[in-house]
């Protein structure tokens, strides 16, 4: 038995497939989902989604805010934006993060941008 997982950004389906486990960050903290997980609806925050497929592959993505839904061994991750780690240029992501830190985190929008950029760096580092 496996999980059917769909990672969806506002503008496209990013990844879909069968998985043994999913790890994502919600407003309450990181959550791991295995087959048979209780139904859940959670608020997704900027972070990394880690999917272990039934073939033993690991797919990693950086996501923004959104929702995580679990029901009947189906996991739906709905994010404003999502980017697979292998599509992220790590050196550029690090430069973008450095520029954001230098600009400061004076307001909520700036802090959200820093968290989004940190997630991109973490995702890219995991796939390297």
Whether residues 49 and 104 fall in one domain: no
Residue 128 confidence (pLDDT): 72
Task: Say which range, 4-8, 104-108, 115-119, has the weakest mean pLDDT.
Answer: 104-108
Domain span at 95 = 88-127
Residues 74 and 15 in one domain: yes
Residue 117 contacts residue 109 (beta carbons within 8 Å): no
Strand 47-53 and strand 12-26: the pairing is antiparallel
Q: Are residues 48 and 13 in the same domain?
A: yes
Question: pLDDT tens digit string along 27-50?
Answer: 999 999 999 999 999 999 999 999
**Same domain, yes or no: 80 and 49:** yes
CATH number at residue 22: 2.60.15.10
Question: What is the tally of structural domains in the chain?
Answer: 2
* Whole-prediction pTM: 0.90
Q: Of 4, 1, 2, which is closest to residue 74 (Cα–Cα)? A: 4
């Amino acid at each position: 038995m496996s999980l059917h997982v769909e990672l969806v950004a506002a503008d496209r389906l990013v990844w879909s497939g069968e998985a043994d486990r999913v790890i994502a960050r919600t407003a309450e903290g990181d959550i791991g989902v295995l087959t048979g997980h209780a139904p859940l609806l959670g608020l997704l925050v900027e972070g990394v989604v880690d999917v272990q497929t039934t073939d033993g592959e690991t797919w990693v993505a950086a996501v923004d805010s959104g929702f995580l839904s679990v029901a009947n061994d189906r996991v739906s991750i709905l994010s404003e934006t999502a980017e697979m780690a292998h599509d992220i240029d790590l050196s550029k992501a690090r430069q973008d993060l450095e520029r954001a830190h230098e600009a400061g985190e004076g307001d909520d929008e700036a802090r959200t941008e820093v968290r989004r950029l940190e997630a991109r760096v973490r995702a890219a580092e995991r796939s390297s």
